[in-house]
Amino acid sequence: MAFYESVIRANLTYRSLSAVEGLSQEELFLWLPVKDISVVDPKSGLILFDIGLAQKQLSLSLFEDPPDCKPDQGVLMKRGGKGKGFGAQI
C-alpha cells in the first residue's frame, strides 16, 4: 500500500529515482517516506525501494500490469489536497 502526494518529485538518473519526495509506503504498520527507488541489476528483475530504516525488493512483474486505483480498493491513496478525494483528480 502506498500514499502519494499530488506532486511527487525525484532526481532521475540511470536506473534510479533518488531524493524522492511525496511518496510513502506502509511497512510494519508505519508509514515511511520512500527515499530512493533503483534497479541494481536489470537481469534480476528486482526493484529496490529504500525507505530509510529498511530496503524492500519488489519484482518488476508487479509493475507490468498496474492495478486499477479506486478509493474503495485501498491500493493507492492520495494525501493532501483540498479533500476532494481521488475521483476528483481525473
Domain boundaries, the chain: 2-63
Q: Give the length of the chain.
A: 90
**Cell 525507505, located at residue:** 51
58/11: higher pLDDT: 11
Q: Tell me the per-residue pLDDT of 15-62, one tens digit each, with 9 for 90 and over.
A: 999 999 998 888 888 888 999 999 988 889 899 999 887 888 888 888
State the cell numbers at 25.
Answer: 509506503
Distant-in-sequence, close-in-space partners of 9: CB < 8 Å, separation ≥ 6: 19, 20, 21, 22
Residue type (1 letter), 43: K
